[in-house]
Amino acid sequence: MPEHSRTPQRYRGGELVIVIDCADLDRSADFWTDALGYLREGSAGKIYQTLVPADGRGCKILLQRVPEQKSAKNRLHLDLRTTDLATEVERVLKAGASLVTEQPIAEAEWVWHILADPDGNEFCILQPPSDYWQS
């Protein structure tokens, strides 16, 4: 993907980027590129690895190597909203996630599972009601 085809995620004052802490940049990059369909932007430094959407559109992710381990539930997390929960959960588990919820959670026509990345960072895979995709 040529760099000039990038369309960054804008916010009022510039560009918005998601940063994810991890213990091992390569392991985390392998996981998140596969799970999200992102690509590495350049190679990893000692502390940082940038991931970009494969189609160049939108929010970069910056993986940040940190010395400390996770100690509490994340207060920011990613929602992966999809049309087929079971298939998507199976795919992302194969990419290296672990399943936090044994049974799916259902609420107001939404159904989802909580998973965790290789560092234990929680994220959700959700199947919204079908009219979600029409809006």
Burial of 12 (0-12, 13-18, 19+ CB in 10 A): exposed
Shortest reach from residue 27's CB to a copy of itself, in Å = 15
- In the window 92-121, what residues touch a copy of itself (CB under 8 A)? 92, 119, 121
Longest dimension (CA), the chain: 44
Question: Applying CB under 8 A, what is the total number of residues that bind a copy of itself?
Answer: 50
Residue 29 to residues 14, 26, 54, 113, 133, Cα–Cα distance (Å):
25, 5, 13, 22, 29
Residue 39: name the closest of 13, 9, 6 by CA.
Answer: 6
Q: Tell me how far apart the alpha carbons of residues 46 and 122 are, in angstroms, rounded to a whole number.
A: 24
- In the window 1-60, what residues touch a copy of itself (CB under 8 A)? 3, 6, 9-21, 35-38, 53-55, 57-59
Shortest reach from residue 66's CB to a copy of itself, in Å = 8
Shortest reach from residue 120's CB to a copy of itself, in Å = 9
Shortest reach from residue 116's CB to a copy of itself, in Å = 11
Residues forming contacts to a copy of itself in the complex (CB under 8 A) are 3, 6, 9-21, 35-38, 53-55, 57-59, 62, 66, 68, 70-83, 88, 91-92, 119, 121, 124-125, 135
